[in-house]
Amino acid sequence: MAGGFELGLNELLSFEPGGGLIHFAGQRAVLMDPVALGLLRKELIDLVGMTAARGIFTRLGYAHGWRTAEALKTAVPWPDESVWRRAGGRLHTLQGQVRVERVERRPDEGPEPFAEAQWRDSYEAEQHLLHLGRADQPVCWSLTGFASGYMSYVNGKPIYGTELRCVGQGDAACHFVGRPAEEWSTECTEVLRFYETQCMEGVLAQVTDALKQAERKLRAKRQSLARAGVTEDPAGMVARSEAMLRVINLARRAAKVDSTVLVTGESGVGKERIARLIHDESTRAHKAFVAVNCAAVTESLLESELFGHARGAFTGATHDRAGLFEAAHGGTLFLDEVGEVPASMQAKLLRVLQEREVRRVGENTSRKVDVRVVAATNRELTEEVRLGRFRQDLYYRLRVIELKIPPLRERREDILPLARLLLAEASERLGRKVAALAPEAVDQLLRYDWPGNVRELGNAVERAVALCEGQRVEREDLPEEVRAAPPNLVPSGNPRRLEDMEKEYILAVLAQNGGNRARTAEQLDIGVATLYRKLKQYGHPEAAH
């Protein structure tokens, strides 16, 4: 220190004889357990995320540094002001937070910044490693804030700092640099935002906004459903058919036990909705529901996606990463299209299901996971097993309980209630006021075979809502293939009048022929004049010209 002046704790700290009050530089101070601070840190990170927590700790340190500089100015008989200005590091060390050392600068490290220090034994890095493990960014947030706050006060202008290296991210020592706000280049605005008070306000405002929006959406959805006359099951399931009610009932019972469930059925029948129902009605409902489509992930990535990886396990693995099994810990993991899992992975998946522990790629130790697996496939797995493409032992492990969702064409009673629900959802999503289906549109929806199942129905309804000109979906708003579906000759509901059947049939054939009357008449084996007369009778626009 300049002029042989060495600041010591003796001058700064005072204790009341009987205990109770401790003063540091004339200000009340408290002794605080760093482990408790470490726990607070972890809770904050869990609650508001890494970025917001970093901002909070940075500003906590900043306030501390600022107030320390202010108190010290008059509490100590400084030989001159420059000593006070440079005493921040020493104070930091005296407070037991970190050992501040001078930086041994290498010539290749560029020009000297405004302020620079090497930090050892940072309590903050120690606590971060203890509670949260190695980070992928510097972690001495309150220390950085302290240094910045102290320097800002003594220099009378904002000095912002950051760590170039940090023990918390695996470096041998922490390396701090500080610069006046205006000297930070634009790519470092990243650093500055942690000092901005509106950072936290911004986060809170965002959260509040998101909550309000979610509530508004929910309210609007309920209203539009009520307008459409649809009462939705609490789990978001709509079913009227015997077959589907049976599936839902079985799913509810499966939810109560912790067994693995295999959901089968054609593409688009709503397997994920059933998986969600199982999760929502299980004791795991308050934990995560994690869904992954096994067919959408390349074979080489699937293992690390599911089980995680260690830093350096492969090119591009720049830090430790938990897999989806760990992410779903305590909750439910939904493995969609499990039939597409390659053979090499099937063995690993089976082992995880049996041992209830995962091993991250590149690690030698296993981690316990408590996950309920719901798998789904549109493949005939017994056939895949017979052909040697799917492991039999894995198949048995997955289908402890099997739920078979019938295709939509085999449960036609569900088409209309589903269409109404999807209509209400689509008009909400697209901001349209389409509330009903015209009777002709309903007829057409009921006639069509829906090879793409509920998903196809959803797409058709959404398209209709988007194209629809009035407040009601008309037959013309439906996709071509749906419009062209011929009438069922054996009616499923009340028998129809022959005249109505004839009209529907004629219009369907006309639609199939793209409105070509000559071809339609030929196919129906009637004269063009007869067809024309009938169309006129129906008030069909084709008869007008």
Shortest approach of Zn ion to residue 143 CB, angstroms?
7
- Residue 20 tokens read as 């109770």
| C-alpha to C-alpha distance for 62 and 58, rounded to whole angstroms | 6
If the CB atoms of residues 119 and 390 are measured against Zn ion, the closer one turns out to be 119
Shortest approach of Zn ion to residue 60 CB, angstroms?
16
Site string for Zn ion, 90-129 (x = CB under 5 A): --------------------------------x--x----
Shortest approach of Zn ion to residue 117 CB, angstroms?
11
SS (H, E, C) 176-196: EEEEEHHHCCHHHHHHHHHHC
Q: What is the largest CA-CA distance in the chain?
A: 117
Each residue of 424-444: b (16+ CB within 10 Å) or e? bbbbbeeeeebbbbbebbbbb
- Residue 367 tokens read as 């981690």
- Residue 201 tokens read as 């306000």
| C-alpha to C-alpha distance for 507 and 499, rounded to whole angstroms | 12
Contact 92, 98 (CB under 8 A): yes
Point out which span in 19-27, 43-51, 170-178, 532-540 binds Zn ion (CB under 5 A). 170-178
If the CB atoms of residues 80 and 190 are measured against Zn ion, the closer one turns out to be 190
Side-chain-side CA neighbours of residue 403 (13 Å): 31
Point out which span in 129-137, 159-167, 430-438, 447-455 binds Zn ion (CB under 5 A). 159-167
- Residue 105 tokens read as 């600068």
Q: What is the DSSP string of 23-62?
A: EETTEEE----HHHHHHHHHHHHHHH-HHHHHHHHHHHHH
If the CB atoms of residues 174 and 376 are measured against Zn ion, the closer one turns out to be 174
If the CB atoms of residues 170 and 515 are measured against Zn ion, the closer one turns out to be 170
Instruction: For the segment 40-69, give every residue that binds Zn ion (CB under 5 A).
Output: none
If the CB atoms of residues 60 and 295 are measured against Zn ion, the closer one turns out to be 60
Residue 147 lies near Zn ion (rule: CB under 5 A): no
Each residue of 500-511: b (16+ CB within 10 Å) or e? eeebbebbbbbb
Instruction: For the segment 358-387, give every residue that binds Zn ion (CB under 5 A).
Output: none
If the CB atoms of residues 190 and 402 are measured against Zn ion, the closer one turns out to be 190
Among 52, 69, 117, 140, binds Zn ion (CB under 5 A): 140
If the CB atoms of residues 166 and 521 are measured against Zn ion, the closer one turns out to be 166
Shortest approach of Zn ion to residue 144 CB, angstroms?
8
Shortest approach of Zn ion to residue 142 CB, angstroms?
10
| C-alpha to C-alpha distance for 255 and 356, rounded to whole angstroms | 19
Shortest approach of Zn ion to residue 5 CB, angstroms?
28
Among 25, 154, 166, 333, binds Zn ion (CB under 5 A): 166
If the CB atoms of residues 88 and 458 are measured against Zn ion, the closer one turns out to be 88
Shortest approach of Zn ion to residue 343 CB, angstroms?
46
If the CB atoms of residues 61 and 487 are measured against Zn ion, the closer one turns out to be 61
Point out which span in 132-140, 212-220, 378-386, 461-469 binds Zn ion (CB under 5 A). 132-140
Residue 174 lies near Zn ion (rule: CB under 5 A): yes
Shortest approach of Zn ion to residue 63 CB, angstroms?
19
Using alpha carbons, select from 385, 463, 366 the residue that is nearest to residue 419: 463
Contact 293, 335 (CB under 8 A): no
Shortest approach of Zn ion to residue 92 CB, angstroms?
12
Instruction: For the segment 240-299, give every residue that binds Zn ion (CB under 5 A).
Output: none
- Residue 253 tokens read as 């019972």
If the CB atoms of residues 170 and 312 are measured against Zn ion, the closer one turns out to be 170
| C-alpha to C-alpha distance for 174 and 318, rounded to whole angstroms | 20
Using alpha carbons, select from 202, 196, 187, 64 the residue that is nearest to residue 124: 64
List the alpha helices (DSSP H) in 263-342. Answer: 271-280, 299-307, 324-327
Point out which span in 103-111, 163-171, 240-248, 419-427 binds Zn ion (CB under 5 A). 163-171
Using alpha carbons, select from 284, 384, 269 the residue that is nearest to residue 336: 269
What does residue 50 show for φ and ψ, rounded to 5 degrees?
-60, -45
Number of residues that bind Zn ion (CB under 5 A): 5
Our CA angle for 16, 30, 197, nearest 5°, is 145
If the CB atoms of residues 176 and 448 are measured against Zn ion, the closer one turns out to be 176
Shortest approach of Zn ion to residue 93 CB, angstroms?
15
Shortest approach of Zn ion to residue 194 CB, angstroms?
14
Beta-strand pair 27-29/22-24: antiparallel
**Tokens 């022929």 correspond to what residue?**
513
Point out which span in 74-82, 172-180, 306-314, 353-361 binds Zn ion (CB under 5 A). 172-180
If the CB atoms of residues 140 and 445 are measured against Zn ion, the closer one turns out to be 140
Contact 205, 182 (CB under 8 A): no
Point out which span in 21-29, 35-43, 174-182, 291-299 binds Zn ion (CB under 5 A). 174-182
Residues in touch with Zn ion (CB under 5 A): 122, 125, 140, 166, 174
